[in-house]
Structure 1
Amino acid sequence: MELKVVKASVEKGEGLGWGKSLLVPSIQEILKNDSQSVPERYIQEPKDRPLISQNLFDSLQVPVIDFSMLAQKDANEIRKLDLACKEWGFFQIINHGVREETMVNMKAAMAAFFELPFQEKSKCAKAANEIQGYGQNFVVSEKQKLDWCDMMFLKTFPHETRNFKEAVEEYSTEIRKVSNKIDANLSVLMGMDENGLKRKLGEFQQGIRMNYYPTCSRPDLVLGISPHSDGSLFTLLLQDDEINGLQIKHKKVWIDAKPIRNSLVVNIGDAIEILSNGMYKSIEHRAISNEKKPRMSIATFVMPGDEVQIGPLDSMVNGKHLPRSYRNIKYIDYIRQKFAMKMQGKAHTAIVKL
């Protein structure tokens, strides 16, 4: 499937965007010349390396929510969602309404992009002051360890920021319908009506990050993506149906988020943690690589507008019993501070904690 990439405002390099990242080589291109070696800059410090072994916590499973039951306002499913947000910060949704054909086409479009010659992909390289485009983000030092991953990030909503082919547009449109329903349910769980968050925050932004994780001869030495939490309200991830790669930190232990065919993984982002006054926390997660097959994933980030002030909702603050734990901050200021740091767990959330 052909995927034509059209450069838009990302090529101008004008103004102060969300953040800048140092240019680094494409790991996909490095491996074309030598697929067996692991460059020193990708070898993680011993304390940060993944344990590629039998997971002692295989019995643990990220909660699964039946989205069709949520749509029917099923009390038990709403209770499951509340507990998943409180205790896990992650859940998988089934029967979500995104057509299987749409997901297949989106995966094919992404695969087509990463199969393009490097010179073609480079036409979509990130500008100096933006995170949108082809490359890597969160690279702030020439000495920091790099992730075993190439990525492409696109803003897909509002409409004027779109610059990609039909499959991606169709996918982002259907995902937006799902995100609107998640937003409505979170609004109710946080003591408002279904339109509470939209009334508070206005129209949401949406961005898609397409991740390509090549095979690695020594997956025990590298990380596909370093531990981090997302700066979004929440994130929806379309995983590879056959290959484990996503791991989440649950009660101080890394566990696999085992793929369920045609499901979407949803995780709470930093913005919801702040708005909920810490009741729903964004959770550290990472990606690991493997020796046998490349892995791809598609993360859709749902975010407030840049100029929106985020802080604990009145419904989530209750004097002495539930005092305010976060200060108010303009979303763009939070995101710029986040992108000024390398990925290091939840270190960036300290900037808003009281």
Structure 2
Amino acid sequence: MALKEAGGSLPVPNVQQLASSSNDVPIRYIRPELELERVSSDDEYVQVPVIDMSKLDDGDDDDDVELAKLHSACRDWGFFQVINHGVANTMMMKMNADIQEFFNQSLHEKMECAQLPNTIEGYGQAFVVSEEQKLDWGDMLFIIARPLDGRNMNIWPKVPSSFRATLDQYSTELEKLTSSLLSSMARNLGLEPGKLLSLFKEGMQGMRMNYYPPCKQATKVIGLAPHSDATGLTLLAQVNEVQGLQIKRDGKWIPIDPIPGAFIVNVGDIIEIMSNGEYKSIEHRAVVNPEKERLSIATFHSPNFSATIGPLSNLLTKDKKGQAPNYKSISHEDYLKLGAKIKLDGKGKGLIHQMKIQPEALNGEK
């Protein structure tokens, strides 16, 4: 079972076209529960940690300081931004421009890249599994960029003509950045620097390009329902300057203010599981602007398909007493099957809850 088969979706209306043709919002998009959600006010605003990648592995005292900041960010926040990350600004701007041009096309032209049945790849939606399910106010183009032999070029856009070459280069640069982050995270966890890298070598890299149209009833719809990422590590780039990402912390939603040229990084469920809970994946969502469109690109990184998804044995035995596993260990294939059963429906960290070992199970109780 490949990941591309783990996110099939029922066909739903194109939101970009829906938003451009009418101010009325169909009932399937209206979410009354949003009125009850608490959002952090301006006077409560707290910025997520910022990690300077140029200070990691530089061989001086800055290395230890920045590593400690990274460790705290992964453990206490699950979200952070990275600056001086080595991905050229011209590269990011070109990727952004190509994504914008793709979504500017007519629906007929975009449908040249439409999802096929039972796959997550292509232009459309993901995780719509019933006719009654509430829908997100947004469209997406999802592409598996790595491993290279996993690419389905039939759904890679041909317009703009530079899209494929740009995405290929962007994919390479983000793989390098992810490898650097994984190496530093391994050091912070007390592992050999190459431990996480070996698990993610030839792993899956998926890119979700998001288009959130404006909505006059923005407070009643959601661009992307609350969830944590089932993958390992996610790097998010803003395509335009419209803010929309929020993370859940202390029972409130906190808006993320993106630093221009930075990547917003978040810990996924797999890293939480592999670290035995020392690092945490965090619920997040995308909200909609009443006047402006928002575009973003999230790049997900997962281990290779031969990797076992479970707490790393090195962490369970790093002290003399040993440490009990807090999560199950299952094959990557079984993990994907489990994830495919849990739809993206606003119930937060459902996959993590399925993977957790309950205390009574550790005690042999039923």
Mark yes or no: TM-score above 0.5.
yes
Q: CA deviation at 1:160?
A: 2.6
What percentage of aligned pairs have identical amino acids?
42
Q: Which residue of 2 aligns with 1:151?
A: 140
Q: CA deviation at 1:137?
A: 0.6
Quick one: distance in 1 between partners of 2:274 and 2:250? 22
Q: Which residue of 2 aligns with 1:25?
A: 13
Query: Residue 82 and residue 31 in structure 1: after superposition, are their counterparts in 2 closer, same or farther (change >3 A)?
Result: same
Quick one: distance in 2 between partners of 1:109 and 1:265? 20
**Aligned residue pairs: how many?**
339
Q: Which residue of 2 aligns with 1:349?
A: 352
Within a 5 Å distance, the mapping from 1:111-150 to structure 2 comes to 111-150=100-139
Q: Which residue of 1 aligns with 2:232?
A: 233
Q: Which residue of 1 aligns with 2:364?
A: none
Partner-residue secondary structure (3-state), 1:31: helix
Q: Which residue of 1 aligns with 2:256?
A: 257
Larger fraction in helix: 2
Q: Which residue of 1 aligns with 2:337?
A: 336
Say whether the 8 Å CA contact 1:124–1:134 is kept in structure 2: yes
Say whether the 8 Å CA contact 2:38–2:253 is kept in structure 1: no
Q: Which residue of 1 aligns with 2:363?
A: none
The 4+ residue runs of structure 1 with deviation greater than 6 A are: none
User: Which segments of 5 or more consecutive residues in structure 2 lack a partner in the other structure?
Assistant: 157-163, 358-366
Quick one: distance in 1 between partners of 2:34 and 2:290? 21
Q: Which residue of 2 aligns with 1:11?
A: none
Partner-residue secondary structure (3-state), 2:56: helix
- Tell me which amino acid in the other structure corresponds to 1:228: H
Q: Which residue of 2 aligns with 1:217?
A: 216
Q: CA deviation at 1:16?
A: 8.6
Partner-residue secondary structure (3-state), 2:118: coil
Say whether the 8 Å CA contact 2:145–2:207 is kept in structure 1: yes
Partner-residue secondary structure (3-state), 1:82: helix
Within a 5 Å distance, the mapping from 1:263-302 to structure 2 comes to 263-302=262-301
Partner-residue secondary structure (3-state), 1:207: strand
Q: CA deviation at 1:128?
A: 1.4
Q: Which residue of 2 aligns with 1:303?
A: 302
Q: CA deviation at 1:287?
A: 0.4
Q: CA deviation at 1:241?
A: 5.6
Say whether the 8 Å CA contact 1:241–1:260 is kept in structure 2: no
- Range with bigger deviation, 14-23 or 267-276: 14-23
Say whether the 8 Å CA contact 1:237–1:299 is kept in structure 2: yes
> Paired residue for 2:47, among 61, 69, 73?
61
Quick one: distance in 2 between partners of 1:304 and 1:181? 15
Say whether the 8 Å CA contact 2:309–2:332 is kept in structure 1: yes
Quick one: distance in 2 between partners of 1:340 and 1:108? 35
User: Which segments of 5 or more consecutive residues in structure 1 lack a partner in the other structure?
Assistant: 1-13
Query: Residue 320 and residue 199 in structure 1: after superposition, are their counterparts in 2 closer, same or farther (change >3 A)?
Result: same
Quick one: distance in 2 between partners of 1:169 and 1:16? 18
- Range with bigger deviation, 166-175 or 277-286: 166-175
Cα deviations across residues 248-305 of structure 1 (Å, max 9, x unaligned)? 0112221011010000000000110110001101100000001121010000001112
RMSD: 2.1
Say whether the 8 Å CA contact 1:18–1:332 is kept in structure 2: no
Quick one: distance in 2 between partners of 1:314 and 1:271? 15
Q: Which residue of 2 aligns with 1:38?
A: 25
Say whether the 8 Å CA contact 1:229–1:269 is kept in structure 2: yes
Quick one: distance in 2 between partners of 1:50 and 1:238? 26
Q: Which residue of 2 aligns with 1:6?
A: none
Quick one: distance in 1 between partners of 2:257 and 2:4? 39
- Tell me which amino acid in the other structure corresponds to 2:135: L
